[in-house]
């Protein structure tokens, strides 16, 4: 007979990696996967993605430039972040690899932006640039993988230490990237054709299906075979965070959008595609939240759960998150303007060019 | 006991002399730079749970010696009530950094701010630590925290500043029941080595493969890994609020 144990003196720890870290993993994953979408056109020359690619590049660049700032802000000694580059620990620390990979990823992102900007002529890119694209693609995949490995390498946290985690991160990255490209493509009206919407809808649908399967396996493994943490994991999944894990994290944001996109005709309709994309974006966020924050709430030695308190201001706070999202929006506006993607995507480009020319004539008239 | 302490002091004074020479030669004030170049010692601790009375004197001494901020602990005596078929007994479990032979915290640290010295003590150079918290996540023993004053990782370091001067860690020095025994695992005549030979000992979470250098005599299976049971009926926040309100007394 197992004894009943009651804690009399003990401590619980505060959750360390909170909303800022979840946001970083979400944003950098979406950035990298969006770049992979863009590369399919800019490097591999897939013509059907001609209008999707610029949106992908804007999503990738805006999130890719802003997200690392959230990561730096979330260090408790932010001013020392540069030491990651000269005090490396590449033999065993995924975070040390990450510092190098992330830097090279951002560098290739900048090069991609410059290449697209300089190679755009009369509504088309002069020629694809496969070498740069391949290098950028390599670092994009590396970024997604390193964030997953960084989490799964931690043996001490039962919910993290799984080979499925990097795969789940990869799927969530693709889901959030496709969804954000759909949303931005609708906002800036670049994505119009049925074929483009159909491609994105189909990609989202199949990725969600694989995600359903893997999330199911992941949950079953931990609920049934979570070792000494199994009691806490069941408490968390079925009681404390049941809405976050099962209702929001699985049914509403993974299963439901997949159901919405089940018919090919619905994948080409803006209404259903947008609803599914918004839900799937939330799902990609919630997966990271459930893994990273709820994973840390699992006690390692103590009886009771660790606690996470979402702060409004200060370190790892809502204000930090809002600030970084504002920066993303700023980058989107600037990139839309600088890259002038519309120039090489035909109809809309012509509209814009003629509108700009009309405005110049009017301005000229005023000046005279 | 006294002869063992004299033995310990003899070795430790030698180590202190070496470290003093090292400190004079090497510039800077970090723990790493003050450490002896090559140590003959392998420090470890045996905790005899039969002698621990759960007085928390070790927790207090540690906090005083190391200036640990309020609400954080480098060591604490977790205390449990274990009810076996209607018979309740109290069990204590002093927790601290296990100074593992294969420390996962050292593996993941991206800047090598945390590392294992030649004498086996796992330390943090808080002049290098960037406060990423990765080591806190990696430690299976909940032994680490982010110090709210230094904004860097913090944990037990076996009172390295005392050990290098030939003294015992503060918790060992103050332990009223003599439950904490510190010494050189490389010395077959040290008290820790003798205890390890004479008594069956356990380590916490052996399945983690960390090979701890803190050994327990009389450790119950129920407490060896993560403890399952009913939580402490009060929270840290409530206690801290009470202290700041002055209502704790």
DSSP secondary structure, A81-137, as one string: GGGGGTS--TTT-HHHHHHHHHHHHHHHHHHHHHHHHHTEETTEESS--HHHHHHHH
Taking only residues 297 to 336 of chain A, the set having a beta carbon closer than 8 angstroms to any beta carbon of chain B reads 299-305, 307
pLDDT exceeds 60 at position A355: no
Report the interhelical angle of A270-289 vs A19-42 (nearest 10°).
130
pLDDT tens track for B164-179: 999 999 999 999 999 9
Q: Which of B226, B233, B235, B241 to mutate to test the interface with A (most CBs of A within 10 A)?
A: B226
Task: Compare CB distances from B152 to A9, A76, A155 and report the shortest one's residue.
Answer: A76
Q: CA distances (Å), B213 to each of A66, A229, B158, B182, B202, in order? A: 43, 24, 11, 10, 10
Residue A356: predicted pLDDT = 53
pLDDT tens track for A127-151: 788 899 999 999 999 999 999 999 9
pLDDT tens track for B189-217: 999 999 999 999 999 999 999 999 999 99
Residue A368: predicted pLDDT = 29
Cα-to-chain-centroid distance, residue A275: 18
Q: Would you give the end-to-end CA distance of chain B in angstroms?
A: 38
Q: Is the dihedral angle over the CA atoms A58, A59, A61, A63 positive or is it negative?
A: positive
- Residue A76: how many CB atoms within 10 A of its CB? 20
Cβ contact A4–B235 (<8 Å): no
User: In which band, very low, low, confident or very high, does the pLDDT at B65 lie, cut at 50, 70 and 90?
Assistant: very high
pLDDT exceeds 60 at position B33: no
Phi, psi of A294 (to 5 degrees): -65, -35
Phi, psi of A163 (to 5 degrees): -70, -15
pLDDT exceeds 90 at position A7: no
Closest residue in B to A73 (Cα–Cα): B132
Residue B235: predicted pLDDT = 66
Cβ contact B128–A300 (<8 Å): no
Task: Compare CB distances from B226 to A17, A150, A300 and report the shortest one's residue.
Answer: A300
Phi, psi of B7 (to 5 degrees): -60, -45
Chain B residues within an 8 Å CB radius of A156: 104, 137-140, 208
Q: How far apart are CA B179 and CA B51, in angstroms?
A: 5
Q: Tell me the domain boundaries of chain A.
A: 19-367
User: In which band, very low, low, confident or very high, does the pLDDT at A260 lie, cut at 50, 70 and 90?
Assistant: very high
Cβ contact B82–A3 (<8 Å): yes
Residue A361: predicted pLDDT = 43
Range of the domain at B27: 2-245
CA dihedral B195→B198→B199→B202, nearest 10 degrees, is 60
- Contact criterion met (CB below 8 Å) for B124 and B152: yes
Q: How far apart are CA B13 and CA B8, in angstroms?
A: 9
Highest mean predicted confidence (pLDDT) among B16-20, B46-50, B231-235: B46-50
Q: Which tokens sit at A302?
A: 């103590």
User: In which band, very low, low, confident or very high, does the pLDDT at B21 lie, cut at 50, 70 and 90?
Assistant: very low
Closest-CA distance, A19 to chain B, in angstroms, reads 14
Closest residue in B to A82 (Cα–Cα): B130
pLDDT exceeds 80 at position A120: no
| Residue carrying the six token digits 């090069």 | A111
Beta strands in B49-113 (DSSP E): 76-84, 87-95
- Contact criterion met (CB below 8 Å) for B130 and A80: yes
Q: Is the dihedral angle over the CA atoms A261, A285, A82, A324 positive or is it negative?
A: positive
Residue A338: predicted pLDDT = 78
pLDDT exceeds 50 at position A346: no
Name the helix (H) or strand (E) containing B63. Answer: helix B57-66
* Chain A touched by B232 (CB under 8 Å): yes
Cβ contact B108–A153 (<8 Å): yes
Taking only residues 70 to 109 of chain B, the set having a beta carbon closer than 8 angstroms to any beta carbon of chain A reads 73, 76-85, 90, 95, 104, 107-109
Taking only residues 184 to 213 of chain B, the set having a beta carbon closer than 8 angstroms to any beta carbon of chain A reads 204, 208
* Chain A touched by B228 (CB under 8 Å): yes
Name the helix (H) or strand (E) containing B115. Answer: strand B114-116
- The overall longest dimension of chain A from CA atoms, in Å, is 96
Closest-CA distance, B58 to chain A, in angstroms, reads 14
Cβ contact A154–B108 (<8 Å): yes
pLDDT tens track for A27-59: 999 999 999 999 999 988 888 888 899 999 999
| Residue carrying the six token digits 């930090």 | A320
Which percentage of chain B shows pLDDT scores above 90?
68
Helices (runs of H) and strands (runs of E) counted in chain A: 14, 3
- List the CATH number of the domain containing B166: 3.30.70.20
In the three-class reduction of DSSP (H, G, I as helix; E, B as strand; rest coil), residue B110 is classed as coil
| Residue carrying the six token digits 């209607």 | B86
pLDDT exceeds 90 at position B19: no
Mean residue pLDDT of chain B comes to 85
Mean pLDDT of B117-143: 96
Structurally, how many domains does chain B consist of? 1
Taking only residues 41 to 60 of chain A, the set having a beta carbon closer than 8 angstroms to any beta carbon of chain B reads none
pLDDT tens track for A149-161: 999 999 999 889 9
Architecture of the domain defined by A19-367: Up-down Bundle (1.20)
Q: CA distances (Å), B135 to each of A71, B105, B115, in order? A: 16, 4, 11
Cα-to-chain-centroid distance, residue B243: 26
Cβ contact B137–A87 (<8 Å): no
Closest-CA distance, A56 to chain B, in angstroms, reads 31
User: In which band, very low, low, confident or very high, does the pLDDT at A122 lie, cut at 50, 70 and 90?
Assistant: low
Least reliable range by pLDDT among A191-205, B9-23, B109-123: B9-23
């Amino acid at each position: 007979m197992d004894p009943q144990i009651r804690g009399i003196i003990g401590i619980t720890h505060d959750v360390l990696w909170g909303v800022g870290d979840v946001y970083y993993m979400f944003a950098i994953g979406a950035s990298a996967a969006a770049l992979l979408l863009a590369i399919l056109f800019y490097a591999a020359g897939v013509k059907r993605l001609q209008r999707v690619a610029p949106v992908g590049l804007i999503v990738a660049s805006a999130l890719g430039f802003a997200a690392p700032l959230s990561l730096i802000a979330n260090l408790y000694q932010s001013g020392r972040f540069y030491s990651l580059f000269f005090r490396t620990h590449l033999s065993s620390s995924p975070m040390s690899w990450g510092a190098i990979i992330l830097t090279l990823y951002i560098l290739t992102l900048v090069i991609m932006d410059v290449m697209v900007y300089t190679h755009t002529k009369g509504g088309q890119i002069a020629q694809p640039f496969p070498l740069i694209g391949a290098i950028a693609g390599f670092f994009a995949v590396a970024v997604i993988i390193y964030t997953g490995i960084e989490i799964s390498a931690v043996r001490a946290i039962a919910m993290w230490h799984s080979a499925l985690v990097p795969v789940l991160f990869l799927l969530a990255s693709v889901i959030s990237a496709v969804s954000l490209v759909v949303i931005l493509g609708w906002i800036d009206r670049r994505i119009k054709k049925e074929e483009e919407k159909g491609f994105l809808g189909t990609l989202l649908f199949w990725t969600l299906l694989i995600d359903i399967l893997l999330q199911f396996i992941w949950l079953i493994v931990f609920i049934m075979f979570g070792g000494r943490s199994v009691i806490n994991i069941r408490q968390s999944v079925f009681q404390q965070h049941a809405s976050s894990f099962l209702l929001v994290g699985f049914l509403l944001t993974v299963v439901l959008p997949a159901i919405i996109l089940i018919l090919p005709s619905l994948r080409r309709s803006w209404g259903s595609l947008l609803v599914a994309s918004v839900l799937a974006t939330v799902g990609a966020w919630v997966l990271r939240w459930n893994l990273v924050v709820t994973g840390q709430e699992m006690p390692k030695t103590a009886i009771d759960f660790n606690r996470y308190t979402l702060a409004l201001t200060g370190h790892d706070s809502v204000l930090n998150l809002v600030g970084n999202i504002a920066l993303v929006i700023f980058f989107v506006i600037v990139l839309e303007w600088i890259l002038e993607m519309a120039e090489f995507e035909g109809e809309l480009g012509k509209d814009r060019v003629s509108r700009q020319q009309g405005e110049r004539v009017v301005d000229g008239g005023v000046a005279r | 006991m006294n002869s063992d302490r004299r033995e310990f002091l003899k070795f430790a004074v030698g180590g202190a002399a070496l470290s003093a020479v090292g400190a004079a030669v090497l510039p800077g004030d970090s723990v790493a730079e003050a450490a002896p170049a090559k140590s003959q010692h392998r420090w470890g601790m045996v905790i005899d749970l039969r002698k621990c009375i759960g007085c928390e004197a070790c927790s207090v001494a540690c906090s005083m010696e190391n200036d640990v901020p309020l609400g954080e602990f480098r060591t604490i005596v977790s205390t449990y009530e274990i009810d076996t078929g209607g018979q309740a007994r109290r069990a204590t479990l002093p927790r601290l950094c296990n100074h593992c032979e294969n420390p996962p915290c050292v593996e993941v640290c991206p800047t090598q701010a945390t590392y294992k010295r030649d004498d086996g003590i796992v330390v943090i150079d808080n002049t290098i630590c960037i406060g990423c918290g990765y080591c806190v996540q990696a430690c299976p023993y909940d032994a680490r925290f982010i110090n709210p004053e230094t904004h860097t990782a913090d944990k037990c370091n076996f009172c390295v500043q005392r050990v290098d001067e030939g003294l015992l860690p503060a918790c060992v020095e103050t332990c009223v029941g003599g439950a904490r025994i510190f010494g050189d695992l490389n010395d077959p005549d040290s008290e820790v080595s003798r205890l390890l030979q004479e008594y069956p000992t356990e380590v916490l979470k052996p399945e983690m493969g960390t090979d701890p250098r803190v050994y327990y005599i009389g450790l119950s299976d129920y407490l060896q890994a993560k403890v399952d049971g009913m939580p402490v009926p009060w929270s840290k926040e409530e206690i801290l609020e009470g202290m700041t309100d002055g209502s704790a007394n």
